[in-house]
Every structure is written in structure tokens, then in C-alpha cells.
Amino acid sequence: MDIDDVHTTRTQASHSRVLPIDENHPFDFDQYTSIYSGRGLVERLLFLIPQCPSLAVQATQLAMKHLKTMRDTFLYQRLLTAYDQASGNSPDAPLPPVNDVINIDPAWIEDVNRRNQEDRTKLEVELKTYSSNMIKESIRMAHRDLAEHYRAVGDYQSALKHYAKLREFCTTSQHVLDMCLSVLELLIEQRNYAHIPTYVFKAEPALDASTNALRSTSFATPSIHSAATPHAAATAAQATKDRLMNERQKTQTKLEVATGISHLGLGAYDKAAAAFLRAGSSNSLGTWSTKVIPPSDIAIYATLCALATYPRPQIKTQILENDTFVYSYLESESYVRELVENWISGRFKAVLEGLERHSTRHALSPHLAPHLHVLTQMIRSRAVALYFQPFATVKLEKMASAFGWNVDETEQEVVRLIGEGEVKGRVDRLGKILRAQEVNQRAELYARTMKVGQDMQSANRKLLLRLRLYVSFFIPASVFAPFILTWIILANRRT
């Protein structure tokens, strides 16, 4: 599995256009950068720089500031490449030379590479020593330390290799669970969506086993509370149970979020929405809320996927009436809640305008950007279909005003949806009217009647065949008796 090649290809492919930032497409750079930290922040700045040349200088300086606290010198090279791409995407407003923006320090790169090499040699020696002593726990910790080292220096393929070897030396289910969560973080960082479900599947039984082990350990020592009152013992037991459930909820939330990101990356938008909506409180994310994915991104992903795939009653039930999702996620992005409320109320023009207004914010999310056009088109198509659903006829002019389009654009959209089967109707191009497809009730009644007759005829043939086999002593009477009863009932109904 060559993770670096997958990441490099996707990163280069995503930097193909310049995103607008103006009054109609506002973007708060300070708010965007404040919700990330560490490598997550640097990765998103590298994603932003080529697509937003107007913010390239500010983003490059901020990225360089955080790079100096990290150990991955490859990110330094990617930063220079991203700034060069931003310069090429801004011919009308040339950017200053990179030397005037940041201080290029080759000595820092050499020093970091030297320290990385020394640490790697030290960890490899420790691993060999522990392997010769055959101490499983020490070997496990050595593989874990090497995996974290390789991940810190940007060698993800080696990091994944040591995480995989670590599994052989895990002695408890908690060790397996910790390993799976570390691998999931790595795969999400690199947008390797196809392999995420594998480690989620491995983590779920480990989570159950770990919870049961902790529960057994917690309740296996009642002697401590033997002198206490029954009330005190019950209170202590309830506190222990709540603590276990809280720990389980934290891990389960991370697994649901990882599953949702995987489904989103693979284009299964309905499954992605379901996984995000099953996530627990944002507090359960812990460090994931800044390192991996912030609550605001979860709100955006879940809402767009739900609008593109869910019926309106389900959206109302699972989003607006889901208190955990509303207070933990929707509150972090107020405009997302407005999108849902406008969709439920049938104000589709406001929904489409909101999507366009915040399109830059959405396009700067690495997980969402490759799917943004498809999701927006799906939401647009569903809006047109839902608008037309209660009408027998509707003027295209009225529909155009409801969506904020002109008549020609509305006609093209409707014709496309009719061709795709999303809208059942016909367009009167002379009168500019959309008419619902008339259903011939008489023909449908005849079709249903013929189908019932054919089903009855087929059932009678089968019963007669079994009757003949019974007469010929090929089938015992005990086996054939239920079929005889069925045949008699059907014959009585027909008469």
C-alpha cells in the first residue's frame, strides 16, 4: 500500500482552480485556522495556498511557523511547491518571492534530518534488543515508538508497517484498540479511505472485549466497600458504570466518525450521513477535534450528505430533532442549521444560495472537496423534484423565480431531470409549462389484474404437479398435506 503516492496524486489534482473570496463568498481565515492544530493545520494550509492566492502569503507564514515545531522536512518542500502553484494561479496580482515571505533555512532541514536519523537508529537498536530478549510487551512498545517516529517524520508507509507488526505483540484488547485508533488517524490524515473500514472492523470487537475486561476488574473487588452502607456501594457501582460507558462512548464516537469519513471518500453519501449522525457528543472526540476533524466539519459533511440522499421527514427527525447532533455540531456552524431549516420549509432558493455563498469554505475541506460538485448537483436535483411533486402543472417562470434562475436555465434543468427519471412529467416548450405525467388508471388496473391471474395460474400448475407426484407415490402425504390445503383455499377464493 503506497500511501505517499495516493496522497501526492490527490493533492496535486485538487489544486486546479482558484476559489473566489469576496462579499458573495465570505471566508474567515482566522476562524478556519483556529479549529485545527499540529499537522492537521499544516495539511489544510497546504491545501488552501494554491487555491486561494489572496491568502497565500498569510497562510505560508503561518504554515512555516508551525513547521518549525515539527520533524517532517518533506512538508517544508511541499510548502514551497504550494506557494509556487499559488504564484502561477495569480497572474493578475503577482505574489512576492518566497524568500521575502519566509526565511528559507537549509541548516534547519539538515539539523532536523540528522536528529531524525539519530532517533531512528536508537529506536531500531532498542527493537532488536527487545526482540532478542523475547519480551512481548517491550517489543510492542518498541514497534509503537517506531511507528510514531515514522509518522512524525512523514514516512507513513513505514509507520503503517510497524503498526501492523505491533498487532502480533498485543497482550490485551486495549492494546489492540489503541493500535487501531492510531492507524485510523494515520489513514484519515492521508485520505486512504478504502482501508479505514478494515481497522474499524478490528476495533469494534476489541472495544467490546476491553469494556468487558474493565467491567470485570471494577466489580471483582467488593472487599473495599464491604464495610460501607448498601447505598454507598450502589453509588460507587453506578459511578463505575458511568465511567465505563463514558470511555466506551468516546471510542465509539471516533469509530463512527472514521466510518463516516470513509463512506464520504468512497462516495456512499447516505451511509456517510448515517455514520456521522450516530456519533456521540463532540466532547467524545478528544484530541481528534483539532488533529483529525473538528465538529464544524462533521456538521457540514453530515448535513450535505443528508440533504443529497435523505427524504425530508428523515432529515427533520435525525438532524433537527437529534439534540446531541444539534448542540454538539450544528451550533458550531450556524449557517448549516439554516440550510436544514430552509430545506424542511421548502425554501429551496435560500438553500441553493447558502450553498453557493459558502462554497469556498466547503471546497477548502480536503475530504469534502472532491465530492462537493456531485453533492451540490444532487441537492439541486432533489430540490427541483420536491418542488414539482405536489403540482399537476406548473409554469417554468414560476419555478424559475422559486429557485432564482432564468427560464432557460430552469427548462434545461427540468429536461435533464426528466431524462434521468427524477421528474415524472413533460415540458410544453411553447407554453413554458411543466406537466405531470398522466397515469392511465384503467391500464394500471388491467396490468395488475393480469399479474394476479398469472401468479394464480403458476401456483395452480405447481400444486397440480405435486398432486400427480403424490398420486404416483413420489411424495409422502405428510409433506404434501400443507400444499393440498393451500390449493383448496385458493380454489375456494377463485370460485
Give 26-73 pLDDT, tens digit per residue.
999 999 999 998 899 999 999 999 999 999 999 999 999 999 889 999
What does the pLDDT profile of the chain (495 residues) look like in tens digits?
A: 444 444 444 444 444 578 999 899 999 999 999 999 889 999 999 999 999 999 999 999 999 999 988 999 999 899 999 999 998 887 777 888 888 888 888 888 899 999 999 999 999 999 999 888 888 889 999 999 999 999 999 899 999 999 988 888 888 888 899 999 999 999 999 899 999 999 999 999 888 887 787 666 655 555 444 445 666 656 665 666 667 777 888 899 999 999 999 999 999 999 999 999 999 888 889 889 989 999 999 999 999 999 999 999 999 999 999 999 999 999 888 899 999 999 999 999 999 999 999 999 999 999 999 999 999 999 999 999 999 888 888 888 898 888 988 888 888 888 898 888 888 888 888 888 888 877 667 888 888 899 999 999 998 888 888 777 776 765 555 555 565 566 566 656 655
* 287/254 Cα distance (integer angstroms): 10
Mind listing the pLDDT tens digit for each residue in 474-492?
555 555 556 556 656 665 6
pLDDT at 224: 47
SS (H, E, C) 109-177: HHHHHHHHHHHHHHHHHHHHHHHHHCCHHHHHHHHHHHHHHHHHHCCHHHHHHHHHHHHHHCCCHHHHH
Residue 82 near residue 50, CB atoms below 8 Å = yes
Distance in angstroms (rounded) separating the CA atoms of residues 470 and 396:
66
Q: Give the class (CATH, top level) of 390-436.
A: mainly alpha
For residue 221, count CB atoms less than 10 angstroms from its CB and return exposed for 0-12, middle for 13-18, buried for 19 or more.
exposed
CA–CA gap between residue 437 and residue 427 (Å, rounded): 10
Rounded Cα–Cα distance for residues 375 and 165 (Å): 39
- Give the per-residue pLDDT at 338: 94
What was the pLDDT predicted at 12?
43
d(CA 247, CA 207): 10
* This model's pTM is above 0.75: yes
For the CA atoms of 127, 133, 136, 142, the dihedral, rounded to the nearest 10 degrees, stands at -10
> Which residue, 141, 258, 151, is CA-closest to 195?
258
Taking the C-alpha atoms of residue 53 and residue 417, their distance in angstroms, rounded to an integer, is 37
DSSP 21: -
Task: Return the domain boundaries, the chain.
Answer: 3-104, 390-436, 441-494
- The DSSP call for residue 398 is H
> 27 with 361: CB under 8 angstroms?
yes
Residue located via cell numbers 424559475:
400
Give the Å distances, CA to CA, from 286 to 127, 188, 263, 295, 319: 30, 16, 22, 11, 22
The full DSSP string for 193-255 is: GGGHHHHHHHHHHHHHHHHHHHHHHHHS-GGGGTTS-HHHHHHHHHHHHHHHHHHHHHHHHHH
Instruction: Look at residue 89 and give its three-state secondary structure.
Output: coil
Distance of alpha carbon 299 from alpha carbon 333, whole angstroms: 7
| Helices 441-471/477-494 angle, 10° precision | 150
Closest CA to 434 of 384, 372, 369: 384
- Largest Cα–Cα separation, the chain: 99
Rg (CA), the chain: 31
Residue 328 to residue 295: CA distance in whole angstroms: 7
